[in-house]
Structure 1
Amino acid sequence: MDTDIAAAQHSYRVIVRGTFAGLGNEARAALLAEVDAHGLAGMRFTPEGSLTYDRTLKHFSYRYEIHSEAADGEEMAGAIAEDLAERALASQGWGFDRLRSTVTDMDTMKINRKPGRR
């Protein structure tokens, strides 16, 4: 395996947060019918994205695992994830506002291990 090719791709974990906006009665009913499947237990980073929200139907978040060129950086991974979230929300007919993302590059993340007991 060519290490240059392997190093060119990075894995990013992206959380896209936003606010529901202009939800009609049907959209609210559909979201509330599925609320238990979109709580804390459903928080996973996946390529398809996992949606979480609560009964207030005010804020939501999507968690994505994005594989992208390292040279494109975290900004591109965030833009890709925000685009995926916009498409997912629009496909359901759910209004939203104020998308923002937080990106972690898993390939450059430093892991602090606790020293072993002696």
Structure 2
Amino acid sequence: MTTRTFRITVRGSFVRLTDEQRAALLAAAPEHDLLRAGFTPEGHLTYEITARDSYTFRFLESGDAEEDIVDATARAELAAEAWLSERGYAFKHFRTHAQDMTLAPLSKRQRQAAAATNTD
């Protein structure tokens, strides 16, 4: 049985940020910069609060079967909601996208590497 890797992206918008909340987000912005984005089990948050009040969480989950992606997506949404709620951030418009990486198409470079491995 193959373990499946799931990448889950949870997007949304902050609502009615107070001056204190905005200041806290701006102070923490370097660790939440898009250039540092990655998929992690605990979820990685990115935002650009000076441009817009939206955010993105990126989660890395795994499962044994294709249908495990449903539970993994629910856990990611709950984790994002918990992070926001624990800090007192109001939010809206959760949009979630989940991808089973075992079903993702290979890039040109990956296809070439696989072909080279198969001819050796």
Q: Shorter-chain TM-score: what band?
A: 0.7 to 0.9
Structure 2 residue 86 is matched with structure 1 residue 99: no
Structure 2 residue 74 is matched with structure 1 residue 90: no
Q: Judge conservation of contact 1:82–1:100 (CA < 8 Å) in 2.
A: no
Taking a change above 3 Å as real, the CA distance of residues 77 and 63 of structure 1, as seen in their structure-2 partners, is same
Matches within 5 A, 1:55-94: 55-94=50-89
- Taking only aligned residues, the RMSD between alpha carbons, in angstroms, comes to 1.9
Q: Which residue in 2 is equivalent to 1:34?
A: 28
Q: In proportion to residue count, which structure has more helix?
A: 2
Q: Sequence identity of aligned pairs in percent?
A: 34
* SS state at 1:93 partner: coil
The one-letter amino acid of 2:22's match is R
Structure 2 residue 20 is matched with structure 1 residue 20: no
Structure 2: segments with no counterpart, 5+ residues: 113-120
Deviation at 1:84, TM superposition (A): 0.8
Q: Judge conservation of contact 1:14–1:63 (CA < 8 Å) in 2.
A: yes
* SS state at 2:102 partner: coil
Per-residue Cα deviation, 1:13-56 (whole angstroms, up to 9, x for no partner): 01110000122121111001111221122210000111000023
| TM-score normalised by structure 1 residue count | 0.81
Q: Judge conservation of contact 1:17–1:101 (CA < 8 Å) in 2.
A: yes
Structure 1: segments with no counterpart, 5+ residues: none
Q: Judge conservation of contact 2:4–2:66 (CA < 8 Å) in 1.
A: no
Q: Judge conservation of contact 1:42–1:50 (CA < 8 Å) in 2.
A: no
| TM-score normalised by structure 2 residue count | 0.80
